[in-house]
Amino acid sequence: MWPVESGTSASGDRPHYAVVFEWIIWVRGSRLVVTTAISVRVEMRDEQGMARAIELAQCARLHAPPNPWVGCVIASSEGVFEGATSVPGGPHAEAAALQAAGERARGATMYVTLEPCAHTGRTPPCTSAIIDAGISRVVVGAEDPDLRVSGRGIAVLGEAGVNVVVGVLREAVEEQLAPYLKHRRTNRPWVVLKLAATMDGRLAAPDGTSKWITGPEARSDVARLRLMSDAVLVGAGTIRTDDPSLTVRLGAQSERLRAGEHEQPDEPQREPLRVVLGRVPEQAKVRPAIEMEGDLGAVLDRLGSMGVLQLMVEGGARVAHAFHASGLADRYVLYLAPALFGGDDAVPMFRGEGAISISDLWRGRLISVERLGDDLRVDLAPVLTEPGAQWSYEREMSEPCLLD
């Protein structure tokens, strides 16, 4: 009795991640094929293994950048062993899982969210460790577009006789790793445009005041979003009007646990870079901050060269309009309060020229809607550029991060 497998292999000539086994039994010269029940069970095993790897990857979301946050599960006859990316310079997810498994990794299946590296950086190649450990099968969520990897890891494993399957829960992995993937493909950060407004779409009163439109639960969620960003950007007008500190404020540690994040030994509180478009007053709370001016594309290029994977744009209305009108926002996060200014003189979400007819209306894709106390969080994405939009692993964690 032996299995015959079909799936997306290293050669790429098979159907997407549909792993199907036919168990062939020879009995006195006649062949019996057992089909449906076994096929369904094996497909679910691969998806469940990758789903757990995705959850483990979320454990590394805060401390892994500028490296990708990757999760790894090794399933063998002797148990299941797990790993996630460590801090830069530390073990990759594959190495951590292999260390946990030891000799029990021989002949096992590895589930890893991103293609293993095949080059030497601050750590040895993961492909070498996988081959040396005797892993017989590697299931990869998505290819790594980093030019040092970009299919090479899959090829090295295949050439060594490892059975490689690519594309299991690809959309979920690409959604989770969207900031890293965009940065490696474009050298620019993933841009999250955050807006807090009333139900009639106003950011501030006519006199400029805006504290506080939303409640404490929404503001804690904003702190969590900052915690997951490498830089926060605002316009100089917002600094002059509101004098924000743009720090990760009270409640960040509890929000960190909500995100599934493990504390790293002796790790300081993560704070994003603070970027201001324009000049910062000497006594502004946002200091120290980076002052930038000019074309927004050039701003993104500079931030990308600094290793910023995710940029959170917090306003004000003119800055929001500039990013929106230029098509530079990858994700829109709207916090909406059950309040109305009730007039047209309050500050709108976007200040600048908009669509002049219904045919020019910008239409996005609704990613998620979540209630936060009395407020709503609504996530939108551009229709044509959003990877894996139906997934939201960054927002949902079904299990805690428990690493063996």
The residues assigned a catalytic role are 94
Angle at 28 between CA 26 and CA 33, to 5 degrees: 30
**DSSP string of 137-205?**
EEEEEE---STTTTTHHHHHHHHTT-EEEE-TTHHHHHHHTHHHHHHHHHSSPEEEEEEEEETTSEEE-
Handedness of CA 177, 182, 187, 188 (dihedral sign): negative
Residues 6+ away with beta carbon under 8 Å from 96: 72, 82, 83, 84, 85, 86, 403
Residue with tokens 């063996």: 404
Selection from 271, 331, 320 nearest residue 296 by Cα: 320
Give residue 188's Cα distance to chain centre: 15
**DSSP string of 187-217?**
SSPEEEEEEEEETTSEEE-TTS--TTSS-HH
Peptide bond before residue 288 is cis, with ω within 30 degrees of 0:
yes
